[in-house]
Chain A
Amino acid sequence: MEFNLNEETKMLQSSAEKFCKEKSPSPFVKNMIKDEKGFSEAHWKEMANLGWLGLIYDEKYGGSGGSFFDLFILFEEIGKTQLPSPFLCSAVFAGLLINEAGDENLKKTYLPPVIQGEKILTIGLRNEQGQYDHAAAALEAKESGGGSYVIKGTRILVPYAQVADEIIVCANLKGEKASGPTLFKVSGKASGLKKTPLNTLTGEKTFGVVFEDVKVSEKDILGAIGKGTTYVDKVLPKVITLKCGEMVGGLSKVLNMTVDYVKQRIQFGRPLGALQVVQHYCADISTFLDTSRLIAYQAASLIDIGFPCAKEVAMAKAWCSDAYKKSTQIAQQLHGGIGFTEEHDLHLYYKHAKVAELDLGDSWSHRQKVAEEMGF
């Protein structure tokens, strides 16, 4: 056991921290909620130039073959300032799916532009209840002859669908020869795609996408027919762990904001922070942060070295979901009326914590996984 970051990771962390602080102050984050695109093109380019988007990919695709743990550290920093971008859906989720399922030709075509930020991909894996349904997708792909398929159904909470060049979906393919859950990439401009912006708690750009008989060809299939679920399940632990990174980052910001505030807010002739009950609340958030960080770092680090860690990932998401949310609830309470205003920044985290909790399985569903991993 060793709990320090190595020098390289530390350098990456401090440059990421600087970048996020500089580029993503809270007024910017709030403006992006109202912005049509929802992120800054300029930031996106810079993130690509910094090598963030290609960090974990092979050099032959333009990546830098870096460590997953470093990527986790980036997401922790992103979570601190809530820097909005399609990083997670495009360069992580979609990129990893292509990397996992695609043949060499597809990887060579898609990964470089994704890594350079020239192409944006997104993921449509959530059904109309917002649940990931790749194990039994409600989206259908029917053979329509001549090696083409027709996709029909609805995906919601599809991030940045309005700017996505391709949407990756898992559709239930019904074919003569082969059937089963299958990954497709669908052009963002395909006819029959209907995208509706959704107003959600965080205001992050996300869409409902209806597939009205969208035509795709067998060239759009990623990997093998019937193996969609397997590919997604292979990639999901990484995405979940990075989501935990985002949450740990958010949580650390919440702790800082709260401690700063109770030091400076005077009631009854002394700082709120001098009240023991307030001190205990702060100590609780601090405990939530340390515990979340440890359990999430553990998952990230085990993924990094290629250890089996299904249980560790599930433990991390279960724990971080509760810890981050509870911390934001305590923080709201300690901030009093001022924290309930739109002008204040705390609600960004209160909302993010709720949405992150509900994404990719909440604590309940990940405790189920932990139990399964324990052999129950």
Chain B
Amino acid sequence: MRFTFTEEQNKFRQTVRDFLQAELKAGIFVTKSGGLAEGNNQEFSKKMAQRGWIGLTWPQKYGGQGRTYVEKAILIEELFKVQAPVAYHFLADRQIGPSIIHFGSEWQKEYFLPRFVKADENMKFCLLFSEPNAGSDLVNVATTATKEGDFYTLRGQKVWTSGGHQSDYGWLLARTKIDSSVPRHESCSQFIVDMKAPGVTVRPIINMVGCHTFNEVFLDEVKIDRKFMVGQENDAFKQIMAQMDYERAGMERLLQNYPVYEKVINYVKEMGKTRKGDPFYHWVQDSVAQLEIEFNIGRLLCYNTAWTIDMGRKPTSEAALTKAYCNQYEQRLNDLATRVLGPASQIREGSPWTLYDGEIADCYLWSPSYALQGGSVEVLKNIVALRRLELPRK
């Protein structure tokens, strides 16, 4: 047991911090919560690429750095504390790259991985998993990929596609076997789809924050070369199970609202200067101390999950438990923030008397999304119950 970082890890953290501080100073980005899915700052991604910070954990032969997941967690922690604009490469780095490394063909590895680690043009990905009738029940996807010679033809509809309107490629789950005698989870495959291909239509969905970040995607007779299928035909769910752990494992799940947390702490410190004896101050202080405990536990969970991966173990239940915990922490944080800051926290961006330019209000509106995307809290708890605790299914 060691709850401190090595000297090398501390140095790495400092390097990342220095870089980010310089970028902040230069006005390259501003720190504001809630915008993870937004923005497409390829320039920033390129700077990270130059430092070897995309594909940090990937093997060197694919252009990665072969570093540990704990180091990756350090990197992500620093990036998210200041809400660096990582959207351009984030998905490729977090899960598309690792999936290609594990399951992709030689061609896919050669084509995509070097471009990912360099943050090249036209390399932004989105996830085409969910459908109107396949949310938690992902094996219910109805989009089909029909093999015709060297091509597959895609027909169907996807939904909730974050960043679909800004992406170059979609990572798609589709049915490749239409045979009711085959279990549904053995009849799907994964594909890489060019989002500009004929037949792909992306339609915006405005969310309850009032933003356009997710979309509906229609696939109407989209022809794709078979070389864009990833892994084995009909093996998608095995692959996804492995991939999901990486999607869920990350430190970002704790830190999407870190600036809110910082603001609340600073606000309470200010309050303490004038309202020490006020009962409200005592309540606030106690609540923030509770958040601090929750935050620190979340951080330990994230590092523990990263370390589990470094130990060569599958982090399925750790990742599920960690994500469920962190999602709920973030929801409590945003709720509490509005109460600590009081009624003016309801005033949104651009209006006078707003607090932190509406960031607190917006974050309260973003809150419901955390416990849904990337596996709902209930589905994650099912995983903990069934996999870790081996509770009976029936």
User: A337 to chain B: which residues have CB within 8 Å?
Assistant: 130, 135, 159-160, 214, 372
Query: Do B348 and A200 touch across chains, with their CB atoms under 8 A apart?
Result: yes
Given contacts A126-B343, A128-B353, A156-B344, contact A333 B338 (CB under 8 A): no
Residues of B within 8 A of A (CB-CB), count: 46
B207 to chain A, nearest CB (A): 5
Candidates B210, B367, B372; contact of A336 at CB < 8 Å: B372
Candidates A129, A339, A351; contact of B343 at CB < 8 Å: A129
Chain A residues 312-343 with CB under 8 Å of chain B are 325, 329, 332-333, 336-337, 339-343
What are some 25 contacts across the A-B interface (CB < 8 A)? A128-B344, A128-B353, A130-B346, A196-B351, A196-B352, A199-B351, A199-B358, A200-B347, A200-B348, A200-B351, A201-B348, A202-B346, A268-B136, A277-B381, A332-B368, A333-B371, A341-B206, A341-B208, A342-B210, A350-B208, A354-B338, A358-B338, A358-B343, A364-B283, A368-B279
- A156 and B279 CA atoms in complex are apart in Å by 24
Q: Does A365 contact B (CB under 8 A)?
A: yes
Q: Does A163 contact B (CB under 8 A)?
A: no
Candidates B348, B364, B372; contact of A333 at CB < 8 Å: B372
Q: Does B194 contact A (CB under 8 A)?
A: no
Query: Do B346 and A355 touch across chains, with their CB atoms under 8 A apart?
Result: yes
User: A295 to chain B: which residues have CB within 8 Å?
Assistant: none
Q: Does B365 contact A (CB under 8 A)?
A: yes
Query: Do A333 and B207 touch across chains, with their CB atoms under 8 A apart?
Result: no
User: B350 to chain A: which residues have CB within 8 Å?
Assistant: 199
The residue of chain A having its C-beta at the shortest distance from the C-beta of B366 within the complex is A340
Residues of A within 8 A of B (CB-CB), count: 46
Query: Do A157 and B351 touch across chains, with their CB atoms under 8 A apart?
Result: no
Query: Do B352 and A336 touch across chains, with their CB atoms under 8 A apart?
Result: no
User: A156 to chain B: which residues have CB within 8 Å?
Assistant: 344, 347, 353
0/1 string, B139-160, CB within 8 A of A gives 1: 0100000000000000000011
Query: Do A131 and B343 touch across chains, with their CB atoms under 8 A apart?
Result: yes
The residue of chain B having its C-beta at the shortest distance from the C-beta of A367 within the complex is B283
- A129 and B338 CA atoms in complex are apart in Å by 12
Please name 9 further chain A to chain B contacts, defined as beta carbons within 8 Å, in addition to the given A128-B344, A200-B348, A342-B206, sorted by A numbering. A128-B353, A198-B352, A199-B348, A201-B346, A201-B364, A329-B368, A333-B372, A337-B135, A337-B160
Candidates A157, A277, A339, A364; contact of B368 at CB < 8 Å: A339
User: B188 to chain A: which residues have CB within 8 Å?
Assistant: none
Chain B residues 311-352 with CB under 8 Å of chain A are 331, 335, 338-339, 342-352
Q: Does A190 contact B (CB under 8 A)?
A: no
Q: Does B205 contact A (CB under 8 A)?
A: yes
Given contacts A199-B350, A201-B364, A267-B135, contact A129 B372 (CB under 8 A): no
Candidates A196, A198, A364; contact of B339 at CB < 8 Å: A364
User: A358 to chain B: which residues have CB within 8 Å?
Assistant: 338-339, 342-343, 345-346
B259 to chain A, nearest CB (A): 19
Query: Do A364 and B335 touch across chains, with their CB atoms under 8 A apart?
Result: no
Candidates B207, B335, B368; contact of A342 at CB < 8 Å: B207
User: A208 to chain B: which residues have CB within 8 Å?
Assistant: 351-353
Candidates B130, B137, B344, B368; contact of A129 at CB < 8 Å: B344
User: A333 to chain B: which residues have CB within 8 Å?
Assistant: 368, 371-372, 376-378
A61 to chain B, nearest CB (A): 32
Most buried by A among B130, B214, B348, B353: B353
Q: Does A238 contact B (CB under 8 A)?
A: no
User: A357 to chain B: which residues have CB within 8 Å?
Assistant: 339
- A196 and B345 CA atoms in complex are apart in Å by 17
Given contacts A340-B369, A354-B364, A364-B280, contact A129 B342 (CB under 8 A): yes
Candidates B136, B207, B335, B346; contact of A340 at CB < 8 Å: B207
Candidates B140, B279, B348; contact of A267 at CB < 8 Å: B140
Q: Does B232 contact A (CB under 8 A)?
A: no
Query: Do A200 and B346 touch across chains, with their CB atoms under 8 A apart?
Result: yes
User: A347 to chain B: which residues have CB within 8 Å?
Assistant: 208, 365
User: B136 to chain A: which residues have CB within 8 Å?
Assistant: 267-268, 336
B290 to chain A, nearest CB (A): 14
Q: Does B54 contact A (CB under 8 A)?
A: no
Chain A residues 99-128 with CB under 8 Å of chain B are 126, 128
Query: Do B368 and A354 touch across chains, with their CB atoms under 8 A apart?
Result: no
User: B159 to chain A: which residues have CB within 8 Å?
Assistant: 337
User: B345 to chain A: which residues have CB within 8 Å?
Assistant: 358
The residue of chain A having its C-beta at the shortest distance from the C-beta of B368 within the complex is A332
- A357 and B337 CA atoms in complex are apart in Å by 13
Query: Do B376 and A198 touch across chains, with their CB atoms under 8 A apart?
Result: no
User: A266 to chain B: which residues have CB within 8 Å?
Assistant: 133
Most buried by A among B208, B342, B348: B208
Query: Do B347 and A340 touch across chains, with their CB atoms under 8 A apart?
Result: no
- A102 and B290 CA atoms in complex are apart in Å by 48
B350 to chain A, nearest CB (A): 6
Q: Does B361 contact A (CB under 8 A)?
A: yes
- A266 and B142 CA atoms in complex are apart in Å by 14
B375 to chain A, nearest CB (A): 12
| Cβ-closest 7 pairs across A and B | A130-B343, A347-B208, A332-B368, A267-B137, A130-B344, A342-B206, A358-B343
Given contacts A200-B361, A267-B136, A341-B208, contact A350 B368 (CB under 8 A): yes
Query: Do B361 and A201 touch across chains, with their CB atoms under 8 A apart?
Result: yes
A365 to chain B, nearest CB (A): 7
Given contacts A340-B369, A341-B207, A362-B339, contact A268 B378 (CB under 8 A): no
